Amino acid sequence: MPELLRFLASRGCHGALILGTTGEGPSFSPAEREALWRSALPIREEFPRFRLLAGTGTPSLSETVDLTQLAFRLGFDGVVTVPPYYYRNASAEGLFEWFRRLIEQAVPEEGTLLGYHFPRVAGIGFSLDLLEQLMDAFPRRFAGIKDSSHDEDFALDLGRRFGADLAVFNGTDSMFSLALQNHAAGCITAAANVISPLLRQVYDLANQGQDPSVPQASVTRYRRALEEYPPFPAGVKALLHRLHDFPRWPLRPPLLALSQQQEEGLVSAFGA
């Protein structure tokens, strides 16, 4: 873990989300999550400003509270929490109550929680009204969302409704410059593990008022290559091994490694 985080920090990443979707967070027990989170802490010795976020969402409110409390006790800068997937028919009132209890019980006054909006996978997400309700109730602690909806209209709606008041971290690399044009704060993406220098170029150019279209075109091309060889955890781990000499890390069932043919196709697309 420290080697991977050092690699990311040296390639322009401001921080990392530990045990999100690409990190296969739902496949790890609470004890395993704690061990992995603790293993990330040494990055602060070399990069003291490197931000650490923990993926803490589960369908269980009590388990999510425990994991969130643990992340802040360990000194993480914030948590990224998916709504209680499985309960796909939960009402807006029910989701607000779930997050209200979570924040009141587990997020300290100086802490930060980001909602994880990934309805295509989680089956449930955040409406604009729910986001506004949470912002009004917890203006400091509910800071924003990771938007992995892959929905351009939603990205535009977020910008129109909240401006820069809601910290939006784009999760769809091909939409990164669009999200930045609509007040997004940055990105948290699977592809950042392997193309962070390009993503940083898009970020820096956009924040300097310059045209990020050239690096964005490359980002989009690599993102689409990853999409051709799902699942993302398998593709990212194969690329880190083949292109950057990291160990060939395994996946946990039900996810499976890419076939040799798929891996060669992906590596070829990135090697180009």
Interval 134-154: pLDDT, tens: 999 999 999 999 999 999 999
Mind listing the pLDDT tens digit for each residue in 213-251? Answer: 999 999 999 999 999 999 999 999 999 999 999 999 999
User: In this structure, are residues 53 and 76 in contact, taking their beta carbons and an 8 Å threshold?
Assistant: yes
The pLDDT confidence band at residue 196, using thresholds 50, 70 and 90, is very high
Q: At what angle do helices 213-227 and 260-271 cross, to 10 degrees?
A: 170
> How is residue 103 written in tokens?
């924040």
Check if 189 is active-site. Answer: no
Distance CA 49, CA 199 (A): 19
Domain boundaries, the chain: 2-149
- Which pLDDT band holds residue 272 (cuts at 50, 70, 90)? low
Q: Name the active-site residue from 21, 68, 112, 189.
A: 21
User: Distance of alpha carbon 202 from its chain centroid, rounded?
Assistant: 17
* 189 DSSP β-pair partners: none
pTM score above 0.75 = yes
How would residue 94 be classed by pLDDT, with cut points 50, 70 and 90?
very high
Note the helical H segments in 11-60. Answer: 30-40, 43-46
> Where would I find the H helices in the chain?
2-10, 30-40, 43-46, 61-73, 92-106, 119-122, 128-137, 152-162, 176-181, 192-207, 213-227, 232-244, 260-271
pLDDT in the model for residue 271: 84
Prior bond of 30 cis (ω within 30°): no
Catalytic residue of the set 58, 81, 146, 222: 146
CATH number of 2-149: 3.20.20.70
List 22, 64, 112, 116, catalytic entry: 116
Rounded distance between C-alpha atoms, residue 123 and residue 187, angstroms: 22
Residue 152 in tokens: 């351009």
CA distance 151 to 147: 9
Q: Based on the residue annotation, tell me whether 237 is a catalytic residue of this protein.
A: no
Q: Report, as an integer, the average pLDDT of 39-61.
A: 97
